[in-house]
A and B are shown apart, each in its own frame.
Chain A
Amino acid sequence: MWMAHSRSPYSARRIALACFALLLVALFLLPNQIQGLLQYLDGPVGHVVGVPLQAIASIDAGIANRWERYVALQGVQEENQQLRKEIEWLRGQHSQLREFSAATERLTALLQFKEQALPTMVAAQVIGRDATNRYRAIILNKGESDGIKPDMGVVTPAGVVGRVVKTTGASSVVLLVTDPSNSIPGLIQRTRDEGIVEGTQQGMARLKYIPLLSTLRDGDRVVTSGLVGGFPRGLVIGTITNIDKQEGALFQSAELMPEVDVGRVEEVLVIQMSYGQSTKVGAEADVTGKPSP
Protein backbone atom coordinates (compact mmCIF):
# COMPACT_ATOMS: atom_id res chain seq x y z
CA MET A 1 0.00 0.00 0.00
CA TRP A 2 1.37 3.37 -0.90
CA MET A 3 0.39 7.01 -1.09
CA ALA A 4 0.54 8.42 -4.56
CA HIS A 5 2.25 11.70 -5.12
CA SER A 6 3.15 13.72 -8.16
CA ARG A 7 6.73 13.26 -9.27
CA SER A 8 6.88 13.68 -13.05
CA PRO A 9 7.14 17.25 -14.25
CA TYR A 10 4.07 18.60 -15.98
CA SER A 11 5.94 18.78 -19.31
CA ALA A 12 6.59 15.01 -19.23
CA ARG A 13 2.86 14.42 -19.10
CA ARG A 14 2.32 16.72 -22.02
CA ILE A 15 5.09 15.03 -24.01
CA ALA A 16 3.58 11.60 -23.27
CA LEU A 17 0.13 12.72 -24.35
CA ALA A 18 1.49 14.41 -27.48
CA CYS A 19 3.52 11.28 -28.41
CA PHE A 20 0.50 9.03 -27.95
CA ALA A 21 -1.77 11.33 -29.94
CA LEU A 22 0.84 11.52 -32.71
CA LEU A 23 1.13 7.74 -32.74
CA LEU A 24 -2.65 7.34 -32.97
CA VAL A 25 -2.85 9.74 -35.89
CA ALA A 26 0.12 8.12 -37.65
CA LEU A 27 -1.28 4.60 -37.17
CA PHE A 28 -4.66 5.52 -38.60
CA LEU A 29 -3.49 7.80 -41.40
CA LEU A 30 -0.27 6.08 -42.50
CA PRO A 31 -0.47 2.45 -41.35
CA ASN A 32 1.62 1.02 -44.20
CA GLN A 33 4.36 3.63 -43.89
CA ILE A 34 4.67 3.04 -40.12
CA GLN A 35 4.87 -0.73 -40.66
CA GLY A 36 7.42 -0.24 -43.45
CA LEU A 37 9.53 1.95 -41.19
CA LEU A 38 9.50 -0.61 -38.39
CA GLN A 39 10.25 -3.47 -40.79
CA TYR A 40 13.78 -2.10 -41.29
CA LEU A 41 14.36 -2.66 -37.59
CA ASP A 42 12.56 -6.01 -37.36
CA GLY A 43 15.55 -8.01 -38.68
CA PRO A 44 18.27 -6.78 -36.27
CA VAL A 45 15.89 -6.58 -33.31
CA GLY A 46 14.68 -10.10 -34.09
CA HIS A 47 18.31 -11.32 -33.96
CA VAL A 48 18.92 -9.64 -30.57
CA VAL A 49 15.66 -10.87 -29.02
CA GLY A 50 16.27 -14.30 -30.57
CA VAL A 51 19.34 -14.90 -28.38
CA PRO A 52 17.56 -15.14 -24.99
CA LEU A 53 14.56 -16.73 -26.71
CA GLN A 54 16.62 -19.57 -28.20
CA ALA A 55 18.59 -20.00 -24.97
CA ILE A 56 15.45 -20.37 -22.85
CA ALA A 57 13.78 -22.51 -25.52
CA SER A 58 16.72 -24.94 -25.50
CA ILE A 59 16.64 -25.15 -21.67
CA ASP A 60 12.89 -25.74 -21.88
CA ALA A 61 13.37 -28.45 -24.52
CA GLY A 62 16.09 -30.09 -22.40
CA ILE A 63 13.82 -30.26 -19.35
CA ALA A 64 10.93 -31.58 -21.46
CA ASN A 65 13.25 -34.20 -22.96
CA ARG A 66 14.43 -35.38 -19.51
CA TRP A 67 10.83 -35.52 -18.33
CA GLU A 68 9.71 -37.60 -21.27
CA ARG A 69 12.68 -39.99 -21.07
CA TYR A 70 12.83 -40.67 -17.37
CA VAL A 71 9.75 -39.47 -15.52
CA ALA A 72 6.72 -39.79 -17.80
CA LEU A 73 7.18 -43.49 -18.63
CA GLN A 74 3.91 -44.77 -17.20
CA GLY A 75 1.95 -46.80 -19.68
CA VAL A 76 4.90 -47.26 -22.03
CA GLN A 77 4.56 -51.05 -22.07
CA GLU A 78 0.96 -50.94 -23.30
CA GLU A 79 1.88 -48.28 -25.83
CA ASN A 80 4.76 -50.47 -26.99
CA GLN A 81 2.47 -53.43 -27.60
CA GLN A 82 -0.01 -51.22 -29.41
CA LEU A 83 2.75 -49.82 -31.62
CA ARG A 84 4.03 -53.31 -32.45
CA LYS A 85 0.57 -54.25 -33.69
CA GLU A 86 0.43 -51.05 -35.67
CA ILE A 87 3.82 -51.78 -37.25
CA GLU A 88 2.58 -55.20 -38.37
CA TRP A 89 -0.45 -53.62 -39.98
CA LEU A 90 1.65 -50.89 -41.60
CA ARG A 91 4.06 -53.47 -43.03
CA GLY A 92 1.15 -55.03 -44.86
CA GLN A 93 0.04 -51.63 -46.08
CA HIS A 94 3.59 -50.81 -47.14
CA SER A 95 3.94 -53.82 -49.38
CA GLN A 96 0.58 -53.04 -50.98
CA LEU A 97 1.62 -49.42 -51.58
CA ARG A 98 4.90 -50.55 -53.15
CA GLU A 99 2.90 -52.50 -55.64
CA PHE A 100 0.76 -49.44 -56.38
CA SER A 101 3.87 -47.26 -56.64
CA ALA A 102 5.45 -49.57 -59.18
CA ALA A 103 2.24 -49.58 -61.19
CA THR A 104 2.05 -45.78 -61.07
CA GLU A 105 5.65 -45.47 -62.27
CA ARG A 106 4.91 -47.73 -65.21
CA LEU A 107 1.78 -45.81 -66.11
CA THR A 108 3.51 -42.42 -65.72
CA ALA A 109 6.27 -43.52 -68.06
CA LEU A 110 3.64 -44.81 -70.42
CA LEU A 111 1.84 -41.47 -70.49
CA GLN A 112 5.16 -39.60 -70.71
CA PHE A 113 4.30 -37.25 -67.88
CA LYS A 114 6.76 -34.47 -67.35
CA GLU A 115 8.83 -35.36 -64.30
CA GLN A 116 8.03 -33.14 -61.38
CA ALA A 117 10.77 -31.93 -59.09
CA LEU A 118 10.48 -32.43 -55.36
CA PRO A 119 9.93 -29.35 -53.21
CA THR A 120 12.82 -27.76 -51.34
CA MET A 121 12.36 -27.80 -47.58
CA VAL A 122 14.11 -26.41 -44.55
CA ALA A 123 13.88 -28.13 -41.16
CA ALA A 124 13.06 -25.90 -38.18
CA GLN A 125 12.36 -26.30 -34.49
CA VAL A 126 9.39 -24.89 -32.60
CA ILE A 127 10.71 -22.54 -29.91
CA GLY A 128 7.52 -20.92 -28.70
CA ARG A 129 3.82 -20.16 -29.10
CA ASP A 130 2.06 -16.96 -30.09
CA ALA A 131 2.65 -14.13 -27.63
CA THR A 132 -1.11 -13.50 -27.39
CA ASN A 133 -4.08 -15.80 -26.78
CA ARG A 134 -5.94 -14.53 -29.82
CA TYR A 135 -4.09 -16.52 -32.49
CA ARG A 136 -3.07 -20.15 -32.75
CA ALA A 137 0.50 -19.75 -33.94
CA ILE A 138 3.95 -21.21 -33.30
CA ILE A 139 7.40 -19.60 -33.45
CA LEU A 140 10.20 -21.28 -35.40
CA ASN A 141 13.95 -20.90 -34.87
CA LYS A 142 14.56 -20.10 -38.57
CA GLY A 143 13.87 -16.79 -40.25
CA GLU A 144 14.73 -14.52 -43.16
CA SER A 145 18.43 -15.36 -42.95
CA ASP A 146 17.53 -19.02 -43.68
CA GLY A 147 15.45 -18.06 -46.69
CA ILE A 148 12.04 -18.24 -45.02
CA LYS A 149 9.43 -15.80 -46.27
CA PRO A 150 5.76 -15.09 -45.50
CA ASP A 151 3.18 -17.39 -47.15
CA MET A 152 5.49 -20.42 -47.24
CA GLY A 153 3.79 -23.66 -46.23
CA VAL A 154 4.83 -25.57 -43.09
CA VAL A 155 4.41 -29.34 -42.79
CA THR A 156 5.53 -32.42 -40.86
CA PRO A 157 5.82 -35.88 -42.42
CA ALA A 158 2.26 -36.49 -41.15
CA GLY A 159 0.69 -33.50 -42.89
CA VAL A 160 0.04 -29.77 -43.00
CA VAL A 161 0.87 -27.62 -39.95
CA GLY A 162 0.19 -24.08 -41.20
CA ARG A 163 1.54 -21.10 -43.09
CA VAL A 164 4.32 -18.59 -42.34
CA VAL A 165 2.80 -15.15 -41.67
CA LYS A 166 5.68 -13.16 -40.26
CA THR A 167 9.48 -13.37 -40.25
CA THR A 168 12.36 -11.68 -38.46
CA GLY A 169 16.07 -12.30 -39.03
CA ALA A 170 16.24 -15.41 -36.88
CA SER A 171 12.67 -16.52 -36.33
CA SER A 172 9.31 -16.83 -38.01
CA VAL A 173 5.67 -17.04 -36.94
CA VAL A 174 3.49 -19.82 -38.36
CA LEU A 175 -0.31 -19.49 -38.28
CA LEU A 176 -1.63 -22.98 -37.57
CA VAL A 177 -4.17 -24.79 -39.72
CA THR A 178 -6.57 -24.70 -36.74
CA ASP A 179 -6.64 -20.87 -36.53
CA PRO A 180 -9.89 -19.31 -37.81
CA SER A 181 -7.90 -16.65 -39.72
CA ASN A 182 -6.10 -19.27 -41.81
CA SER A 183 -7.35 -20.52 -45.21
CA ILE A 184 -5.75 -23.29 -47.24
CA PRO A 185 -7.16 -24.64 -50.52
CA GLY A 186 -8.13 -28.28 -49.97
CA LEU A 187 -9.30 -31.24 -52.01
CA ILE A 188 -11.25 -34.33 -50.94
CA GLN A 189 -8.93 -37.14 -51.96
CA ARG A 190 -11.63 -39.64 -52.95
CA THR A 191 -14.17 -37.41 -54.70
CA ARG A 192 -11.70 -34.72 -55.98
CA ASP A 193 -14.05 -31.94 -54.85
CA GLU A 194 -12.30 -28.73 -53.89
CA GLY A 195 -12.93 -26.34 -51.02
CA ILE A 196 -11.24 -24.03 -48.55
CA VAL A 197 -9.93 -25.32 -45.22
CA GLU A 198 -10.30 -22.87 -42.34
CA GLY A 199 -9.61 -23.27 -38.63
CA THR A 200 -12.39 -23.26 -36.06
CA GLN A 201 -12.56 -21.66 -32.63
CA GLN A 202 -12.67 -25.10 -31.03
CA GLY A 203 -9.21 -25.93 -32.41
CA MET A 204 -10.37 -28.11 -35.31
CA ALA A 205 -10.62 -27.32 -39.03
CA ARG A 206 -13.51 -27.01 -41.46
CA LEU A 207 -13.67 -27.60 -45.21
CA LYS A 208 -16.00 -24.98 -46.69
CA TYR A 209 -17.55 -24.34 -50.11
CA ILE A 210 -17.90 -28.03 -51.08
CA PRO A 211 -20.27 -28.46 -54.07
CA LEU A 212 -23.75 -29.66 -53.07
CA LEU A 213 -23.53 -32.68 -55.38
CA SER A 214 -20.36 -33.96 -53.75
CA THR A 215 -20.64 -37.51 -52.39
CA LEU A 216 -18.27 -36.97 -49.48
CA ARG A 217 -18.59 -39.09 -46.34
CA ASP A 218 -17.11 -39.38 -42.87
CA GLY A 219 -13.55 -40.67 -42.95
CA ASP A 220 -12.66 -39.08 -46.30
CA ARG A 221 -9.21 -37.53 -46.33
CA VAL A 222 -8.64 -33.92 -47.32
CA VAL A 223 -5.36 -32.96 -48.97
CA THR A 224 -3.90 -29.71 -50.29
CA SER A 225 -5.11 -28.84 -53.77
CA GLY A 226 -1.90 -27.03 -54.73
CA LEU A 227 -3.79 -24.31 -56.58
CA VAL A 228 -2.56 -21.33 -54.58
CA GLY A 229 -0.41 -20.80 -51.50
CA GLY A 230 2.84 -22.40 -50.49
CA PHE A 231 1.73 -26.03 -50.60
CA PRO A 232 2.20 -28.61 -53.35
CA ARG A 233 -0.75 -30.84 -54.21
CA GLY A 234 -1.46 -33.93 -52.13
CA LEU A 235 -0.26 -33.11 -48.59
CA VAL A 236 -2.68 -34.44 -45.99
CA ILE A 237 -4.63 -31.79 -44.04
CA GLY A 238 -7.10 -33.93 -42.11
CA THR A 239 -9.96 -36.42 -42.07
CA ILE A 240 -13.65 -35.55 -42.33
CA THR A 241 -15.50 -36.26 -39.07
CA ASN A 242 -18.83 -34.50 -39.57
CA ILE A 243 -20.72 -33.22 -42.63
CA ASP A 244 -22.91 -30.13 -42.49
CA LYS A 245 -25.46 -29.94 -45.32
CA GLN A 246 -28.13 -27.31 -44.74
CA GLU A 247 -31.43 -26.92 -46.55
CA GLY A 248 -31.27 -24.14 -49.15
CA ALA A 249 -27.53 -23.56 -48.81
CA LEU A 250 -25.40 -23.16 -51.92
CA PHE A 251 -22.55 -25.28 -50.55
CA GLN A 252 -21.98 -27.89 -47.90
CA SER A 253 -19.19 -27.92 -45.36
CA ALA A 254 -17.44 -30.56 -43.27
CA GLU A 255 -15.58 -30.65 -39.99
CA LEU A 256 -12.05 -32.02 -40.14
CA MET A 257 -9.79 -33.64 -37.59
CA PRO A 258 -6.35 -32.22 -38.47
CA GLU A 259 -3.80 -34.89 -39.30
CA VAL A 260 -1.07 -33.20 -37.25
CA ASP A 261 -1.55 -32.62 -33.52
CA VAL A 262 -0.51 -28.97 -33.78
CA GLY A 263 -0.50 -28.56 -30.01
CA ARG A 264 2.42 -30.93 -29.64
CA VAL A 265 4.45 -30.37 -32.78
CA GLU A 266 8.19 -29.82 -32.10
CA GLU A 267 9.96 -30.03 -35.45
CA VAL A 268 8.61 -28.94 -38.81
CA LEU A 269 9.61 -28.53 -42.45
CA VAL A 270 9.14 -25.22 -44.25
CA ILE A 271 8.41 -25.57 -47.96
CA GLN A 272 10.63 -23.03 -49.69
CA MET A 273 9.73 -23.95 -53.24
CA SER A 274 6.76 -25.92 -54.41
CA TYR A 275 6.48 -28.41 -57.26
CA GLY A 276 7.34 -26.87 -60.57
CA GLN A 277 9.41 -24.06 -58.99
CA SER A 278 12.28 -26.11 -57.67
CA THR A 279 14.80 -28.05 -59.71
CA LYS A 280 15.77 -31.57 -58.93
CA VAL A 281 19.37 -30.52 -58.27
CA GLY A 282 18.28 -27.94 -55.73
CA ALA A 283 16.01 -30.29 -53.87
CA GLU A 284 17.38 -30.69 -50.36
CA ALA A 285 14.68 -32.82 -48.87
CA ASP A 286 11.74 -34.89 -49.95
CA VAL A 287 8.11 -34.95 -48.90
CA THR A 288 8.66 -37.98 -46.72
CA GLY A 289 10.33 -35.68 -44.25
CA LYS A 290 14.08 -35.97 -44.78
CA PRO A 291 15.37 -32.45 -44.12
CA SER A 292 18.46 -30.93 -45.63
CA PRO A 293 21.64 -31.41 -43.57
Chain B
Amino acid sequence: MKFLFYLILVLLLVPLQTTLLPHLSVWSIKPDLGLVAAALVGIFAGELEGLLVGLAIGWVLNLFSAGELWLSLLTNGGVGILAGFLGRQLTLVTSISLGVGLLLVSLASGLFAAVSFTHLDLSQMWWMVESIALPQACFDGAVGAGLYWLLSQWFHVTRLRTE
Protein backbone atom coordinates (compact mmCIF):
# COMPACT_ATOMS: atom_id res chain seq x y z
CA MET B 1 0.00 0.00 0.00
CA LYS B 2 2.79 2.36 0.98
CA PHE B 3 4.74 1.42 -2.14
CA LEU B 4 1.72 2.22 -4.31
CA PHE B 5 1.35 5.58 -2.60
CA TYR B 6 5.01 6.43 -3.23
CA LEU B 7 4.73 5.25 -6.85
CA ILE B 8 1.73 7.49 -7.49
CA LEU B 9 3.51 10.36 -5.73
CA VAL B 10 6.57 10.04 -7.98
CA LEU B 11 4.47 9.63 -11.15
CA LEU B 12 2.30 12.65 -10.39
CA LEU B 13 5.19 14.88 -9.37
CA VAL B 14 6.57 14.94 -12.92
CA PRO B 15 3.54 16.47 -14.71
CA LEU B 16 2.88 18.70 -11.73
CA GLN B 17 6.44 20.05 -11.73
CA THR B 18 6.98 20.31 -15.50
CA THR B 19 3.54 21.10 -16.92
CA LEU B 20 1.33 22.72 -14.30
CA LEU B 21 3.76 24.61 -12.05
CA PRO B 22 5.19 26.83 -14.84
CA HIS B 23 1.71 28.47 -14.97
CA LEU B 24 1.94 29.26 -11.25
CA SER B 25 5.53 30.48 -11.25
CA VAL B 26 6.30 33.90 -9.75
CA TRP B 27 8.97 35.89 -11.65
CA SER B 28 9.71 32.66 -13.56
CA ILE B 29 10.55 30.85 -10.33
CA LYS B 30 8.61 27.76 -9.35
CA PRO B 31 8.94 25.73 -6.15
CA ASP B 32 10.75 22.39 -6.20
CA LEU B 33 7.97 20.00 -5.26
CA GLY B 34 10.40 17.05 -5.36
CA LEU B 35 12.40 18.58 -2.54
CA VAL B 36 9.27 19.34 -0.50
CA ALA B 37 7.88 15.81 -1.04
CA ALA B 38 11.19 14.16 -0.05
CA ALA B 39 11.31 16.28 3.13
CA LEU B 40 7.72 15.44 4.08
CA VAL B 41 8.27 11.71 3.49
CA GLY B 42 11.45 11.91 5.59
CA ILE B 43 9.60 13.65 8.44
CA PHE B 44 6.59 11.33 8.40
CA ALA B 45 8.17 7.98 7.52
CA GLY B 46 11.77 8.18 8.74
CA GLU B 47 15.25 8.42 7.24
CA LEU B 48 15.31 5.25 5.16
CA GLU B 49 12.05 5.87 3.34
CA GLY B 50 12.94 9.56 3.04
CA LEU B 51 16.22 8.62 1.39
CA LEU B 52 14.74 6.03 -0.99
CA VAL B 53 11.78 8.16 -2.05
CA GLY B 54 14.08 11.20 -2.36
CA LEU B 55 16.42 9.26 -4.63
CA ALA B 56 13.52 8.01 -6.76
CA ILE B 57 12.11 11.55 -7.07
CA GLY B 58 15.55 12.94 -7.89
CA TRP B 59 16.17 10.37 -10.59
CA VAL B 60 12.74 10.59 -12.26
CA LEU B 61 12.64 14.41 -12.19
CA ASN B 62 16.15 14.49 -13.63
CA LEU B 63 14.88 12.63 -16.71
CA PHE B 64 12.90 15.80 -17.46
CA SER B 65 15.60 18.33 -16.73
CA ALA B 66 18.79 19.44 -18.43
CA GLY B 67 20.58 19.25 -15.08
CA GLU B 68 23.17 16.81 -13.78
CA LEU B 69 21.97 13.50 -12.34
CA TRP B 70 24.35 13.45 -9.37
CA LEU B 71 23.16 16.82 -8.11
CA SER B 72 19.52 15.81 -8.31
CA LEU B 73 20.14 12.47 -6.54
CA LEU B 74 22.28 14.09 -3.89
CA THR B 75 19.87 16.95 -3.18
CA ASN B 76 16.62 14.99 -3.00
CA GLY B 77 18.10 11.91 -1.29
CA GLY B 78 19.98 14.15 1.14
CA VAL B 79 16.86 16.13 2.01
CA GLY B 80 14.91 12.90 2.65
CA ILE B 81 17.51 11.51 5.05
CA LEU B 82 18.12 14.89 6.72
CA ALA B 83 14.42 15.48 7.29
CA GLY B 84 14.15 12.02 8.85
CA PHE B 85 17.01 12.80 11.27
CA LEU B 86 15.72 16.27 12.13
CA GLY B 87 12.20 14.97 12.67
CA ARG B 88 13.54 12.57 15.23
CA GLN B 89 15.72 15.12 17.03
CA LEU B 90 13.13 17.91 17.31
CA THR B 91 10.65 17.59 20.11
CA LEU B 92 8.13 19.84 18.42
CA VAL B 93 7.68 20.09 14.65
CA THR B 94 5.55 22.97 13.44
CA SER B 95 4.82 24.16 9.95
CA ILE B 96 7.09 27.16 10.63
CA SER B 97 10.07 25.08 11.75
CA LEU B 98 9.59 22.79 8.74
CA GLY B 99 9.34 25.80 6.43
CA VAL B 100 12.54 27.33 7.82
CA GLY B 101 14.34 23.98 7.55
CA LEU B 102 13.25 23.57 3.93
CA LEU B 103 14.30 27.14 3.14
CA LEU B 104 17.78 26.46 4.49
CA VAL B 105 18.17 23.11 2.72
CA SER B 106 16.87 24.52 -0.57
CA LEU B 107 19.22 27.49 -0.26
CA ALA B 108 22.15 25.17 0.40
CA SER B 109 21.25 23.07 -2.64
CA GLY B 110 20.92 26.24 -4.77
CA LEU B 111 24.35 27.46 -3.60
CA PHE B 112 25.84 24.06 -4.34
CA ALA B 113 24.30 24.10 -7.83
CA ALA B 114 25.62 27.62 -8.50
CA VAL B 115 29.13 26.57 -7.48
CA SER B 116 28.92 23.47 -9.69
CA PHE B 117 28.36 25.64 -12.80
CA THR B 118 32.02 25.85 -13.71
CA HIS B 119 31.53 28.23 -16.66
CA LEU B 120 30.09 31.03 -14.49
CA ASP B 121 32.22 33.87 -13.14
CA LEU B 122 31.67 35.32 -9.65
CA SER B 123 29.14 37.96 -10.70
CA GLN B 124 27.10 35.45 -12.69
CA MET B 125 27.21 33.03 -9.77
CA TRP B 126 25.95 35.77 -7.44
CA TRP B 127 23.18 36.60 -9.92
CA MET B 128 22.14 32.94 -9.91
CA VAL B 129 22.04 32.82 -6.10
CA GLU B 130 20.20 36.14 -5.82
CA SER B 131 17.70 35.59 -8.64
CA ILE B 132 17.11 31.85 -8.56
CA ALA B 133 18.38 30.09 -5.42
CA LEU B 134 17.11 32.59 -2.83
CA PRO B 135 13.57 33.13 -4.23
CA GLN B 136 13.22 29.40 -4.82
CA ALA B 137 14.31 28.64 -1.25
CA CYS B 138 11.64 31.05 0.07
CA PHE B 139 9.07 29.46 -2.25
CA ASP B 140 10.05 25.92 -1.18
CA GLY B 141 9.87 26.87 2.50
CA ALA B 142 6.43 28.46 2.10
CA VAL B 143 5.03 25.55 0.06
CA GLY B 144 6.48 22.97 2.48
CA ALA B 145 5.07 24.80 5.51
CA GLY B 146 1.68 25.15 3.82
CA LEU B 147 1.53 21.48 2.84
CA TYR B 148 2.58 20.39 6.32
CA TRP B 149 -0.07 22.60 7.88
CA LEU B 150 -2.73 21.17 5.54
CA LEU B 151 -1.66 17.60 6.26
CA SER B 152 -1.69 18.22 10.00
CA GLN B 153 -5.18 19.75 9.73
CA TRP B 154 -6.69 17.05 7.53
CA PHE B 155 -5.11 13.93 9.04
CA HIS B 156 -4.21 12.80 12.49
CA VAL B 157 -0.49 13.32 12.06
CA THR B 158 0.66 11.25 15.04
CA ARG B 159 -1.26 8.26 13.77
CA LEU B 160 0.12 8.71 10.26
CA ARG B 161 3.64 8.64 11.66
CA THR B 162 3.26 5.61 13.87
CA GLU B 163 1.70 3.41 11.19
Q: With a CB–CB cut-off of 8 A, which chain A residues contact B22?
A: 128-129
Cβ-based interface call for A265 (8 A)? no
Give complex CA distance A203, B116 in Å: 20
B92 touches A20 (CB 8 A): no
* Cβ–Cβ < 8 Å partners of B85 in chain A: 13
With contacts A53-B19, A56-B20 known, is A8 near B48, CB below 8 A?
yes
Which of A6, A15, A128 neighbours the largest number of chain B CB atoms within 10 Å of its CB? A128
A4 touches B93 (CB 8 A): yes
A45-B60, A49-B63 known; A8+B47 contact, CB < 8 A: yes
Check if A3 is an interface residue, CB within 8 A of chain B. yes
Whether the Cβ atoms of A42 and B63 lie closer than 8 Å is yes
List CB contacts (< 8 Å) of B16-38 with chain A: 16-20, 22-23, 28-30, 32, 34
Could you say which residues of chain A place their CB within 8 Å of the CB of B39? none
Given contacts A133-B29, A137-B65, contact A6 B131 (CB under 8 A): no
Residue in chain A with minimal CB distance to B135: A133
Bound: A281/B94 CA distance, A: 66
Chain A positions 160-213 with a Cβ under 8 Å from a chain B Cβ: 165-166, 168, 171, 173, 175, 179-181, 201
Please classify the interface of chain B as helix (H, G, I), strand (E, B), loop, or mixed, using the class held by over half of its residues: helix
A69 located at the interface, meaning its Cβ lies under 8 Å from any Cβ of chain B in the complex? no
Instruction: List the A side residues contacting B138 at CB < 8 Å.
Output: none
Beta-carbon nearest neighbor of B114 in chain A: A134
Q: Which 4 A-B pairs have the closest CB atoms?
A: A128-B18, A8-B46, A56-B15, A16-B47
Contacting pair B28 A35 (CB below 8 A):
no
Tell which of B52, B65, B92 touches A1, judged by Cβ atoms closer than 8 Å. B92
- Determine if A19 is an interface residue (Cβ-Cβ < 8 Å): yes
Given A23-B55, A168-B63, decide whether A13 and B120 contact each other with a Cβ distance below 8 A. no
Q: Is B105 an interface residue (CB 8 A)?
A: no
Tell me whether A134 and B67 are in contact (CB under 8 A).
yes
Q: Is the CB of B132 within 8 A of A57?
A: no
- The docked-state distance in angstroms from the alpha carbon of A52 to that of B48 is 27
With a cutoff of 8 Å between Cβ atoms, the chain A residues found around residue B120 in the complex are 180
- A52 adjacent to B67 (CB under 8 Å): no
Rounded to whole Å, the gap between the CB of A112 and the closest CB of chain B is 44
Contact B131 A16 (CB under 8 A): no
A174 to B93, CA, bound (A): 41
CA distance A4 to B98 in the complex (A): 13
Q: How far is the CA of A53 from the CA of B117 in the complex (A)?
A: 29
Asked whether, in the complex, the Cβ of B158 is within 8 Å of the Cβ of A180, the reply is: no
